[in-house]
């Protein structure tokens, strides 16, 4: 069995090698095992995907439930797992630090922290305060006996503030606070992505999976991106097929959806130990 320290070293090595890699986002243990079976090298949880699978809206899952979920994903395969921990599930710095110590205890070898407030009046934390939160998380995980990759997220574009200068200023502050990976979800312009990459000295993650995403992995690697996640899009793709099938059943009383379903034997084989 691969130890957590070995997973951590393997995860760090992915960020150090040439080119870019895809880190897909499972939403439960079954999807994690399928992704491992298909040959991916690391996984990242999706808070939205997990919330949807639990029958809840995004940003309604608490810390305890999320940590239990991360532990289930981390134990499902031998792959390194990075956890989506939203804002760290704490208001004070000690609470932030505790969240990241706990997620390491749950088996993760990486995790993210974001600067969104989800308050429509003030959707982003002030930069200095957000950097202090990154610093608290970084101090906690960098004291661990293995390398833990902390990803700091600047949520400007998702919050409707499409100011690349603000994105860069935030990511630079989070870099100085100790983040190991930098991430600004919502970037879709090649010049913006390249500007971010040039402005920092840490690996940059981007998220793809929108219908309008104009890039492939090679194109993102050419821009200097190191890591590509897909957020909740795999979960939403699976749920999309489920909803289309259910609507066929309910609306037409037919069963045509089954012709596109994966074979019983094929998917059963993916869950063999």
Q: Is the pLDDT of residue 79 over 80?
A: yes
Predicted pLDDT at 213: 75
Predicted pLDDT at 31: 98
Q: Does residue 83 belong to any structural domain of this protein?
A: yes
Q: Does residue 139 belong to any structural domain of this protein?
A: yes
* Cβ atoms within 10 Å, residue 146: 16
Whole-model pTM: value is 0.97
Q: Does residue 238 belong to any structural domain of this protein?
A: no
Q: Does residue 256 belong to any structural domain of this protein?
A: no
Q: Does residue 9 belong to any structural domain of this protein?
A: yes
pLDDT tens per residue, range 230-268? 999 999 999 999 999 999 999 999 999 999 999 999 999
Q: Which domain holds residue 91?
A: 4-231
Predicted pLDDT at 115: 98
Q: How many structural domains comprise the chain? A: 1
Predicted pLDDT at 209: 87
- Cβ proximity of 233 and 22 under 8 Å: no
Spatial CB neighbours of 82, under 8 Å, sequence gap ≥ 6: 11, 23, 42, 43, 44, 45, 108, 109, 110, 111, 112, 149, 151
Pairwise CA distance, residues 181 & 153, whole Å: 9
Residue 171 sits in a domain of what CATH number?
A: 3.20.20.60
Q: Does residue 91 belong to any structural domain of this protein?
A: yes
Q: Does residue 108 belong to any structural domain of this protein?
A: yes
Question: 109 vs 21, 136, 259, CA distance in Å?
Answer: 17, 17, 39
pLDDT tens per residue, range 22-75? 999 999 999 999 999 999 999 999 999 999 999 999 999 999 999 999 999 999
Buried b (16+ CB within 10 A) or exposed e, 18-42: eebbebbbbbbbebbbbbbeeebbb
pLDDT tens per residue, range 148-204? 999 999 999 999 999 999 999 999 999 999 999 999 999 999 999 999 999 999 999
Percent of the chain with pLDDT over 70: 99
Closest CA to 247 of 53, 48, 234, 239: 239
Q: Does residue 269 belong to any structural domain of this protein?
A: no
């Amino acid at each position: 069995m691969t130890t957590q320290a070995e997973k951590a070293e393997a995860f760090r090595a992915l960020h150090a090698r040439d080119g870019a890699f895809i880190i897909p986002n499972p939403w439960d243990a079954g999807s994690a095992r399928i992704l491992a079976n298909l040959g991916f090298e690391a996984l990242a949880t999706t808070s939205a995907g997990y919330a949807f699978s639990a029958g809840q809206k995004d940003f309604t899952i608490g810390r305890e439930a999320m940590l239990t979920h991360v532990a289930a994903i981390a134990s499902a395969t031998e792959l390194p797992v990075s956890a989506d921990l939203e804002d760290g599930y704490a208001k004070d710095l000690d609470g932030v630090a505790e969240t990241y110590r706990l997620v390491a205890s749950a088996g993760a070898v990486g995790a993210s922290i974001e600067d969104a407030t989800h308050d429509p009046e003030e959707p982003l934390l002030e930069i200095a305060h957000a950097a202090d939160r990154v610093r608290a998380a970084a101090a906690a995980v960098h004291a661990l006996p293995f390398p833990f990759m902390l990803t700091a997220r600047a949520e400007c574009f998702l919050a409707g503030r499409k100011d690349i200068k603000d994105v860069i200023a935030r990511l630079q502050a989070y870099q100085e606070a100790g983040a190991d990976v930098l991430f600004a979800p919502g970037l879709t312009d090649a010049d913006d992505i390249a500007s971010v990459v040039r402005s920092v000295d840490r690996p940059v993650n981007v998220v793809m999976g929108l219908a309008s995403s104009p890039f492939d992995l090679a194109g993102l690697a050419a821009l200097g991106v190191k890591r590509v996640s897909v957020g909740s899009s795999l979960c939403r793709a699976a749920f999309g097929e489920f909803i289309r099938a259910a609507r066929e059943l309910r609306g037409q009383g037919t069963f045509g959806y089954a012709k596109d379903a994966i074979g019983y034997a094929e998917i059963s084989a993916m869950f063999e130990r």
